[in-house]
A and B are shown apart, each in its own frame.
Chain A
Amino acid sequence: MNETPKPTPMQTPFEDVLNRTLSRIPSEIGRMIYLASTRDYNSGIYQHDGLASRFSAADAGAALKQAHCAVFQELAAFSLEELVGDLNRYIENSDEPRPEFLRAWRTLEPYRVAIPLTADPTMAQLLLSNIRIALEVLRIRQKRAEAHRSDAWQLPSPAQ
């Protein structure tokens, strides 16, 4: 039978992950969560059908792992201010209302499973701690914004 020939890859699997997929995700945290989601919970192996069809399963897995480690290192090097901005962007691009998002992340800590298996423990601990602090910063800002809105609602207008 006639088999459809595979298109010749114009770029490496790693470049493919960066250019096709990660460039569409607007935040580093979003990228780390996405890459962690391609990792099998039981085996720790990265899988991506689209990428595997263009290259091979092994190459695709290696590229995803490399990208995951790179994104993790970048995030771990963020200052707290940068991380708060990045997390804010991630929340803005999610479909969840901000208070629900913050509550879920503070309670469930889903970001804990997004750390690469080979990460340096100190770097991992620092990043997770920074995410907890960033969530707290955003929660306090959210509370202040709500209080501000409530005050503005109760204040009499200048005409009264």
Chain B
Amino acid sequence: MIAFFGCIGVAVLLFVLLFFLGSGSGMDERDLGDLEIADTREASCPSEVVKQIFSARDLQFVAREASPPLQHFFIGERRRVAIGWIRRTSLDLRIAMREHVRMAREKEDIDAATEVRVLLQYLRLRCLCGLLLASAMVVRPSGLRELAVYASELFRRLDPAHSLLPGPERASSRRLHSTR
């Protein structure tokens, strides 16, 4: 019984997180700046950058400086970058899914099994983003490295099979968040 209510609780929590993740992206854009992305945008954030954001190497360097305020400052800065990446990934995912749905509507021969699989992958990634966002608010980003890299890889793998991530459309429809 306790396990059942636990599962319900986790589901509600994830739903709330997804809601805030969705509503948060707009706020994030305003917060980050108003530069409009050009069509000439380069390829999206490589996995190496994700690894770097969530890496422990820089934290170790800061720890060697033996200054608690500096360490606090570093963690705050890295957390902000991590949350920015999670929100952008979530936004990209929603744009890609919207595009996929639009393309699926135009198709005449829809494969139901493929569509269900795409939907499940989408939901899995949205849940991962929600979990990452919640965790990034309480845990140091370096503690989330494995999960973040997994989400990043999963997001990339969605592309070729189901045209879930249309390349040029995605680049042109996204907004460039400046920084801070």
Contacts and interface: CB of A to CB of B under 8 A. Distances in A.
A120 B62 CA distance: 26
B179 interface: yes
B49 A126 contact: yes
A69 B65 contact: no
A12 B144 CA distance: 44
Interface residues of A, number: 28
A157 interface: no
B135 interface: no
Majority SS at the chain B contact face: helix
Contact of A118 (B42, B50, B78, B180): B42
Contacts of A80: 57-58, 61-62
B61 A120 contact: no
Contacts of B84: 121-122, 125
A124 B48 CA distance: 14
Interface residues of B, number: 36
A86 to B, nearest CB: 14
A31 to B, nearest CB: 19
Given A129-B80, A129-B81, A132-B77, A123 B45 contact: yes
B100 interface: no
B61 A81 contact: yes
Contacts of B61: 79-81, 84
A140 interface: yes
Interface string A109-122: 00010010111111
A123 B78 contact: no
Ranked nearest first, the 5 interchain pairs of A and B with the lowest CB-CB distance are: A80-B58, A122-B45, A125-B179, A121-B177, A129-B77
Given A129-B80, A136-B73, 13 more contacts: A77-B52, A79-B61, A80-B58, A117-B40, A122-B49, A122-B53, A123-B45, A126-B81, A128-B179, A129-B78, A133-B58, A137-B62, A140-B65
